Structure 1
């Protein structure tokens, strides 16, 4: 692909929605890679730089300028150096790439709002507006930019722009987006995940692509060439356990009726000073609720073998049947946690799960309003959940 043409957006945006290519001038020699996902921005900027330079940067033909500024004077000087580099033709002729790398002064902070900084950025914009010399290409990478400023608006209209933002983990359904990202990167390494292993990996590694990449590389090395499928035990062994991971593991143990595992994790967290109410509301209650909802949904006959078909079927249910299900902020049923609970939900009867939900409510109230031993309250509830599954 011609590096001067529009760079196609990836099919999945890291900000939770598809990336769409912004309008750019034909054969643009100005490129900008922006986004809050620092690892992805650096990775893509380096890839594009190698593409533009042919991988041949001898230190004389092309120039890379560090965009990290400690203050407004530093930002002004960086812009000045970039302008000088853009106006200086290659010593040996040919093409030249000027990379303003990891610019830190384009965001809305004290340095970014300074008149000195704005003056420097304006001079850079004027240089780009005047047109670059034949064979000169400008590449900008930054993990943040004030999109109210004229410089950003000019880039939108005149440069090839790609944006990579972190997935918003405060939004419902973020796990689904991260799972798609993980599976894509795993395929590049020739890896595949068992379902349970993928669920835990998503929770443990989080949404940052740099962390995801590092953990996948560890798994790749650990598995070697003989085995290419990541199992749950591999994730537990190789990916550092986080609080979110422990919360997930407690829920998973409850779903599968592994009371011993759930109690072990709960005791470990309580001994570490974790709040019992926090464990109840972050893990146990959501697990029980999802199991109950999944069991009710299963009675409607929706397909459960394929996630897309499952999610589509839920959205097509009559309003009265889906209004009580978890909803995404953007609209539609948040199907992902229900889909993950479908298999485990089959081990329970609806009546049993209804009683378990009542027990969870009583246990939560006991933790908040009574002086009962918190460990005892949680242990009793785990026993009830496990018993409900066995009676199936």
Structure 2
């Protein structure tokens, strides 16, 4: 049986004293693939043995309008109120619910009052009736969500928020676990490249890992070159590759990638702020750390992160933090450690200053944007004689 890659899963159990908590299960989240997989597995586990179709009621929960939402609510209540045809147990599965979200349909009275009516009735179900819900996006300000959290066993499968620093950490850990299942060994650079190319898309990540496994074989090693060969280079991938080219001090590749992005219609300021500035800043921070703390471990991400956390706060106050405030955003600095040795500290300080000057030229002059970026890269990446 094929194992599927999974992103971070948070599970919240209802309290033991909640009415109906034992027979109401909700699988929710923005990771559609994982929600569907988990709900399907639970439906098989919760279905009464040897009941066939008579022991299961499946209601499609995708509402296209307020009227349609009302029909779904009525069908669900009818299914919950109907006793098993031959006695014994029964499963009611409200599938692919979309009206708990903050949407046009989700804000209607039919959705708000309907979901509350369903939960009010489900809370009083006899033990032999199981109620399963699979839900996509959820508006957590809704009273229905708060009630659901109290009366049900809620299992959350959300995609990582790529707008927050450090989102890669959770996905990287999952890719490594999936790789171990298939006997793959990822180089650090290959792992980072794969995550940035596929992003938080569970389906694409799983597909790409399967492809890599077929290519390198069992107990194979996945290198950066293998990922570059097999995984499609989307816009995010080009931006990521540009950062890598800067880190490798590969001027020719950096110029090619800038021209590719400009040809694709990308904004020059966006390229500067998304690809160039973050990499230069991380290189500068990494080089500065190594100069002040030359004994910091470089071989292991965990060891480096632990050593960094043990430094006095005065030594790390300037380092980037995760947006949720849970600690330092360590991974980009770890990846920049080896690349930083290709530059001197004065070169990196000058490069960051040059980025500021390029930004000013892009917003305040009529110089061709591509020319501004190319001049910046030539000045940064050309080794001084």
Measured against the shorter chain, the TM-score band is 0.7 to 0.9
Structure 1, 139-148 or 23-32: larger mean CA deviation: 23-32
* Aligned equivalent of 2:236, options 222, 229, 244: 244
Equivalence for 1:64: 58
Equivalence for 2:189: 196
User: How far apart, CA to CA, are the structure 2 residues paired with 1:166 and 1:221?
Assistant: 26
Task: Decide whether aligned partners of structure 1 residues 235 and 158 sit closer, same or farther in structure 2, where only a CA change above 3 A counts.
Answer: same
* Aligned equivalent of 2:309, options 315, 319, 329: 315
SS at match of 1:31: strand
Note the 1:26-65 alignment, pairs <5 A: 28-53=22-47, 58-65=52-59
What's the CA shift string for 1:41-98, capped at 9, x where partnerless?
Answer: 1121112222223897843331211111112222222222222222333334443221
Structure 1, 48-57 or 359-368: larger mean CA deviation: 48-57
TM-score, normalised to structure 1, is 0.85
User: How far apart, CA to CA, are the structure 2 residues paired with 1:346 and 1:257?
Assistant: 11
Is this contact kept in 2: 1:76–1:117, CA < 8 A?
yes
Structure 1 residue 242, shift from structure 2 partner = 1.9
Equivalence for 1:281: 273
Equivalence for 1:367: 362
Equivalence for 2:109: 115
User: How far apart, CA to CA, are the structure 2 residues paired with 1:382 and 1:55?
Assistant: 66
Is 1:176 aligned with 2:169?
A: yes
* Aligned equivalent of 2:99, options 87, 105, 109: 105
User: How far apart, CA to CA, are the structure 1 residues paired with 2:365 and 2:344?
Assistant: 31
User: How far apart, CA to CA, are the structure 2 residues paired with 1:156 and 1:347?
Assistant: 52
Task: Decide whether aligned partners of structure 1 residues 383 and 75 sit closer, same or farther in structure 2, where only a CA change above 3 A counts.
Answer: same
Of structures 1 and 2, the one scoring higher in RCO (CA 8 A, sep 6+) is 2
* Aligned equivalent of 1:185, options 171, 175, 178: 178
**Following superposition, which runs of at least 4 residues in structure 1 exceed 6 angstroms of deviation?**
54-57
Equivalence for 1:302: 296
Is this contact kept in 2: 1:49–1:139, CA < 8 A?
yes
Is 1:382 aligned with 2:377?
A: yes
SS at match of 2:93: strand
Is this contact kept in 2: 1:77–1:120, CA < 8 A?
no
Is this contact kept in 2: 1:104–1:142, CA < 8 A?
yes
SS at match of 2:134: strand
Is this contact kept in 2: 1:303–1:313, CA < 8 A?
yes
Is this contact kept in 1: 2:251–2:377, CA < 8 A?
yes
Equivalence for 1:213: 206
User: How far apart, CA to CA, are the structure 2 residues paired with 1:153 and 1:360?
Assistant: 47
Unaligned runs of 5+ in 1: 1-10
Equivalence for 2:3: none
Structure 1, 71-80 or 145-154: larger mean CA deviation: 145-154
Note the 1:347-358 alignment, pairs <5 A: 347-358=342-353
SS at match of 2:85: coil
User: How far apart, CA to CA, are the structure 1 residues paired with 2:348 and 2:181?
Assistant: 41
User: How far apart, CA to CA, are the structure 1 residues paired with 2:99 and 2:226?
Assistant: 42
Is this contact kept in 1: 2:73–2:114, CA < 8 A?
yes
Structure 1 residue 162, shift from structure 2 partner = 0.9
Task: Decide whether aligned partners of structure 1 residues 268 and 168 sit closer, same or farther in structure 2, where only a CA change above 3 A counts.
Answer: same
User: How far apart, CA to CA, are the structure 2 residues paired with 1:50 and 1:185?
Assistant: 24
SS at match of 1:102: strand
Unaligned runs of 5+ in 2: 1-5
Is this contact kept in 2: 1:31–1:138, CA < 8 A?
yes
User: How far apart, CA to CA, are the structure 1 residues paired with 2:342 and 2:354?
Assistant: 18
Structure 1 residue 205, shift from structure 2 partner = 0.9
User: How far apart, CA to CA, are the structure 2 residues paired with 1:263 and 1:146?
Assistant: 44
